[in-house]
Homo-oligomer: A and B are copies of this chain.
Amino acid sequence: MSNQSEVVATAPCCAPLVREPLTQDWAGDLARMFKALGDPVRLRLLSMVASHDGGEACVCEVTPAFDLSQPTISHHLRVLREAGLLECERRGTWVFYRVVPAALAQLAAVLGPAELTVPAVPAELDIADLGVRA
């Protein structure tokens, strides 16, 4: 609704990935994180945790959303945790997961025309546009 206009097209120098070839070590680290995201179930898990109230969710809250067994969900959560994208904390009987913002920020920064340099305006940049333009 509001004028999102041409806010996006900033950042002349941009993502490290575009600026110079990745080192082998760095590519390995990043690949481990991207690989963790390379599964629809894990992506949805991450999103559900991130968008849940308080930025955290317990396993029993996210499990019913999938047609998968509890061990499988637990496995995927572990993959995300070992990739550094999620962290967990036991509270009584339940285990709560929440995202690690810095990890997501790192990935976004590597990929993208970093919105980091954008001042204030980008309330909503329409990803829908970017997506459907195949």
Contact = CB atoms under 8 A, between A and B. Distances in A.
Interface in A38-59: 38-44, 46-48, 50-51, 55
B112 A51 contact: no
A46 B130 CA distance: 19
B105 A25 contact: no
A24 interface: yes
Contact of A120 (B4, B107, B131, B132): B4
Total copies of this chain within the assembly: 2
Nearest to A17: B47
A31 B39 contact: yes
How would you classify the secondary structure of chain A's contact residues: helix, strand, loop or mixed?
helix
Interface residues of A, number: 73
B123 A109 contact: no
B31 A37 contact: yes
Contacts of A40: 24, 27-28, 30-31
A68 interface: no
Given A18-B51, A27-B40, A30-B40, 4 more contacts: A22-B47, A34-B35, A105-B114, A113-B115
